[in-house]
Structure 1
Amino acid sequence: MCPKNRFRRRGLGVVVWSLVTVLVVAAGLVGVVLWQNSYDMNEQRVTIRHGGHTLNGVLATPRDGRDRHGLIVYVHGDGPVDATHDDGYKPLWEANAEAGYASLSWDKPGVAGAPGDWLDQSMDDRADEAAAAIAWARTRPDIDGDRIGLWGASQAGWVLPKIAARTPVSFVVAVSPAVNWLRQGRYNLLAELRAEGASAARIKAEVAKSDTTRQLLDRHATFEEYVKAVRGDTDGMTADRWGFISRNYTADATRDLRALRGVPVLLALAGHDVNVDTADTERTYRSVLDAGGELRVRHYPEATHSLLKQSVERSDLKITLTALFAPRSLFADGFLDDQRRFLDGLDRAGTVASPRPGR
């Protein structure tokens, strides 16, 4: 045989085996992704009627063989959030399922094809929506109507106590909840500027712009007046967003929190939260709820506002790879376990067993 042909066949064999190796590795990676993103629970799409509106939801239930389960109703934070929060809720739902609880969430109006527009809502509208979802859940034979609680993050801090004032709830998990809209906005502005290393002059200018915006809101200015006042520097503000802020900027949960007195509340706070002043939140929750003895506060020093690990969230590559290959590891150490333990401690009467000491 010609040496050239032998080399050609040998080269072809190397290419074939290299391709096979690549395909095997790729198949293995795909398998890992599918395995890591499969959760031990059943999910079904549900439709909830709320007045003349329709909520497109997802109900996730445990695979424990029981006929009835307690339920956690999810209340989203700000923004166009779908029912699963782009699958970000699923590790939380799995932890709930391990504790014997189902989870219910829905697309915000106008998101993922849902009718309506979430920017048209007030915090009271959102509370009415959640109360309707709870009423719907109580009609289901697979849900224990005496064990229905709430889970909410960030902007949900203004909605959770309003829901509890409308319908009985057995417990609440509050994640980085806001208390006062204006105080939160100023805290967020300054925290982000400092994180960026902004100069004193820029901070002064941004604060002045923020003060102008507050004055415009107080006199119910139109979006066009806002655009004129900031000389076209809207920083992404739209007419619809301006309307949403105008309806809600006076929100303050302090008085509403009284509806949660006597209700077991797990308050989860992050150590690297540039959105919400966690010290202010904890101080307010303790002043209103501590007397009832049902408030449990947990601190996660290495977490961001979303209770994700800071080391992961600050890198687009890390957050993408972690979401693909280890989505449960996105969250701060101990958060999923603490949520599960909190639920494990709940009995049918809604009381909670004494948890381990806080960090």
Structure 2
Amino acid sequence: MPGEWRVREVRFGAEGVTLAGLLGVPGGEAVAGVVLDGGSGPSDRDNDGSFRPIRRYLLEAGVAVLSYDKRGVGRSSGRWCAATMDDLASDALAALGFLRAQPEVPDEAAGLFGHSEGGWVALRAAARGAPSWVVTNSCPGVTPAEQERYARTTAARASGSRHERDVDSVVAFYDRLVEAGRRGAGFAEATRIVAEAGHPALAAFWSDVDADGWEFLKRKQDHDPLPDALRLRCPHLAIFGGADELVPVAASVRLFGEAACDADRDHRASLTVQVFAGADHRVRRDGVLAPGYLPTLAKWIHAPG
């Protein structure tokens, strides 16, 4: 009956890997379907729990939801740290194909939702494939290197550095780290740069990075999302938290807006931007999703563009 929904464990193949996740379908035929792609690192089907309230709300709104463990995480095979952005985009497209194959899901109303790094993945997938729409959630419009530079600057200021020269020093060491990555430096050299900086803002960034993680960072650090945004052939909803300390929100809105205004962009592509004042990187205020976030997301998925 309407309003009832169910969730089941699923597995599906992608390029060289088998991905595992959760498929939720509403009671009766779904009005739309969405694939949820998590953020950076070893993100699972729940994206550290942040996808659970989104999944529940969308299911109750009649939207089928598929989320999955990133390759090498949970019950998925492979290694995420050995992947490229194209590999991750192929995984997202495989998930979209699996979702569209479900009898309850209308093929013409299935799209991609990507959080943070997952937004870059969703944009790359959308530029290569044909989702009905794409939602990016706290996805920077700048490269990973530029985004992390902004985050280290914000973290240095928040750590109690009393002088701007202290912040400048952290940023200078971060820039050295980026340049080391560009010339292929090894993990030991990168670790020495972070240790030499001797600042918690850089140490916090490095705390979860191992040798494999450093190789992944080197591969992705200059990924530019704007060419993918220019190649979109579908509506794009870009969501941000106005108090996001990890993403340069104003710059990202401007850059996605410039891409949307490009005269050569496909006429089917549109851009809607929603910034939730006072919300953080996961679009939360006081630990819960910002007021209006879930209704805004569901309403747009029901009628994108």
Q: 3-state SS of the aligned residue for 2:106?
A: strand
C-alpha displacement of 1:133: 1.7
Q: Does 1:141 align with 2:99?
A: no
Residue 219 of structure 2: aligned partner: 247
More helix by share: 1
Q: Does 1:78 align with 2:40?
A: yes
Q: Does 1:333 align with 2:285?
A: no
Residue 44 of structure 1: aligned partner: 8
RMSD of aligned alpha carbons: 2.1
Q: How is 1:1-359 mapped onto 2 (pairs within 5 angstroms)?
A: 41-63=5-27, 65-66=28-29, 69-179=31-141, 180-200=143-163, 201-230=165-194, 235-236=206-207, 237-261=209-233, 263-290=234-261, 294-309=270-285, 311-312=286-287, 330-346=288-304, 352=305
Q: Mean Cα displacement is larger for which, 203-212 or 244-253?
A: 203-212
When normalised by structure 1's length, the TM-score is 0.75
- Distance in 1 of aligned mates of 2:156 and 2:109: 43
CA contact (8 A) 1:156 1:178 kept: no
Query: What is the percentage of aligned positions where both structures have the same residue?
Result: 30
CA contact (8 A) 1:98 1:340 kept: no
Q: Unaligned regions of 5+ residues in structure 2, if any? A: none
CA contact (8 A) 1:95 1:339 kept: no
CA contact (8 A) 1:40 1:94 kept: no
C-alpha displacement of 1:231: 5.0
Larger Rg: 1
Q: 3-state SS of the aligned residue for 1:83?
A: coil
Q: 3-state SS of the aligned residue for 1:303?
A: coil
Q: Unaligned regions of 5+ residues in structure 1, if any? A: 1-38, 313-329, 347-351, 353-359
- Distance in 1 of aligned mates of 2:124 and 2:78: 21
C-alpha displacement of 1:69: 4.7
Q: Which amino acid aligns with 1:219?
A: R
Give the aligned length: 288
Q: 3-state SS of the aligned residue for 1:142?
A: coil
- Distance in 2 of aligned mates of 1:178 and 1:76: 14
1:45 to 1:283, Cα distance in 2 relative to 1, 3 A: same
1:104 to 1:300, Cα distance in 2 relative to 1, 3 A: same
